Amino acid sequence: MHTRYFICLALALFGLMSCNQAQKGVTEQEALNQATGPFIGLDGDTLQKVEKTDKEWKAELSEQAYYVLRQAGTERAFTGNFWNNKKKGVYICAGCGLPLFSSATKFESGTGWPSFWEPIRKENILEVVDKAYGMTRTEVRCARCGGHQGHVFDDGPKPTGLRYCINSVALDFVEGSDKP
């Protein structure tokens, strides 16, 4: 009887520890290492992780996309292509094409950045602690290419209460079905 109790307790503790690890608190490198793929693309195809040098990213992205995706910059509010986009479709990573958000979970946050209450798949994004500018925030990255997308806050609408605040320039939009 005691043994069974002990095993239950051990399992519960282990579960808690794994949960904590999967949540906020992981460093950028830990999060990137954990994301091994494979990932599911827009056509249901299997995609491998994307790893490119800084030089390669710089050559292939626009200046603004490079600044946001690879240098964790932020576009000015109300300037991007998607904060006011009300069309039905899927938002994919501008760096690697991985489906990240659906128009079905987009809402008007009034912030001037496209905002979603949930990603398409939890495993398609990485959440990393960001202590820049004297604040502790949770940074959101694309799990396939590591590209910075924005941040997630806990003041979003139901059902999740989350607000994924994303830079338009980090996304491309594929109009059509809102299900990848």
Distance CA 157, CA 120 (A): 16
Distance CA 88, CA 40 (A): 20
Nearest to Fe ion of 32, 145 (CB atom): 145
Chain residues binding Fe ion by CB under 5 A are 93, 95-96, 98, 142, 144-145, 147
CB of 124 to Fe ion, least distance (A): 9
CB contact at 8 A, 68 and 61 = no
CB of 159 to Fe ion, least distance (A): 26
Nearest to Fe ion of 41, 112 (CB atom): 41
Distance CA 143, CA 40 (A): 11
Catalytic, 165? Answer yes
Structure tokens at 19: 């949960």
Three-state DSSP class for residue 94: coil
CB of 144 to Fe ion, least distance (A): 5
CB contact at 8 A, 119 and 164 = yes
Nearest to Fe ion of 118, 157 (CB atom): 118
DSSP state of 95: T
Q: Which residues are catalytic?
A: 165
